[in-house]
Structure 1
């Protein structure tokens, strides 16, 4: 029972939503780039372990603040996990990430570790409390396609439009991810850019940033029927995000992000 409780707590403490989303995006990018099953699994697992280390370090650093605002959804704050267990898991994930990343090749490994994983840790340690909070997301998401293509037998950098679309996707993801926790973060002194702008501004800024990514993804590889169709859908969703009520704007913005992912996978 204790083991099961620990495993469940670690799964919840790793920020499973973002971790699964980034890992799935990596797997799709690896498939799109033409990786073999084994090589694609290696790259994807390297990214997964990096995401686990970022998620666990975030909860470790936020444990005191989460307790202060009564975050019962956080295993550390709720007492379902001890800090020593999460610290051990975090260190192990980071060590495995270094080994797997370098096994993908020096270029891919260094890009992943220095631009991807380091950006996530830098966000947790400092950037999340500053107006520059979107920067690590832009760098990490922008670099992710390069982690995949630099791991190919013939390493190559992705086109510039892919990097820009990834960066804008990252900024939009940061804005959307911050929305549900704005009040709790403010109460404990965390004031990144979304907190300084306020929920009302972030609700229209997130789809605007994501729509900018849609434009880049549509025109970057040359506008065709697929690109035009995705762009038209994103414009319609952006309108819904601006004029909708309740959770509709949030859902519309998430769908724009998914459309941008489709563009990255299908058109890069």
Structure 2
């Protein structure tokens, strides 16, 4: 399915702390601002419910818990489709790093597949990996989902493109470090080209590093299917509004048919 008109997306680049109630109120405020700016889709960072470095096992909640219920209420109030990062019980004593997708007639989840066991960090000690790619339809457009470290795995994005994703939404909590900003900028562009889709990456705003916990560098961006940067934020908190044209995807895939299986 393909839209014939532009769709306005919002990347709500903010800092999450360890208090899910305060974080939910920030989601509410930013969602209202995004809706006032004409957005139909609002994407919040990975770990919007509680930042890395918090006691994730103690803070995790099921998808019928108060944080997710609060996000659904915000989506209903604003009319937005909202994507927000949270932590849900995994059943093995760890948690899942979950994207909640809710609003505009959509209700689904994505559990992060590729865990951040890199640069001295061990996400898998507390987080269990997901095992399924997720696409969904809204506003006549097919969306795909990925989270942060997934950006280093090109095959995930190629497969999302093959499954019809025209827009890929990527919440993140991309840790600071030598070369990390340059890697982020490169990877969001490359993965849009791998999927031959629009890509909206929403990172936590820059946060002072704390050990090996991935927190945020900002630089949320909207990338077109040919890897062009259409909009980007700086390091601080803010809302990126970007108009995307899903019909461009079919044109790019016809001219550069790299998604065809051999």
Q: TM-score, normalised by structure 1?
A: 0.31
Relative contact order higher in (CA < 8 Å, ≥ 6 apart) = 2
Higher helix residue share = 1
